[in-house]
């Protein structure tokens, strides 16, 4: 079993997409990870403009399933 923080979870979602959920079975994430993922995506969309809002929404949909 492993513990995933926000950056590890985001990297996993970016690489594996919807398959992330299968990989996370029987593993753990911190309670604040969801908030941290949202904050990281907000920064990437609005501050650094690395991704657009539709990409951020896809990541959020995958994480919050």
Give the pLDDT band (50/70/90) at residue 1.
Answer: confident
Residues 4-54 pLDDT 10s: 888 888 888 888 887 887 888 888 888 898 899 899 999 999 999 988 999
28 vs 11, 42, 48, CA distance in Å? 15, 23, 29
Instruction: State how many domains the chain has.
Output: 1
Per-residue model confidence (pLDDT) at position 46: 94
Structural domain of 40: 3-63
């Amino acid at each position: 079993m492993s513990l995933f923080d926000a950056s590890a979870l985001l990297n996993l979602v970016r690489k594996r997409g919807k398959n992330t959920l299968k990989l996370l079975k029987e593993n753990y994430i911190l309670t604040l990870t969801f908030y941290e993922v949202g904050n990281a995506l907000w920064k990437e969309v609005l501050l650094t403009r690395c991704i657009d809002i539709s990409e951020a929404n896809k990541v959020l949909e995958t994480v919050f399933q």
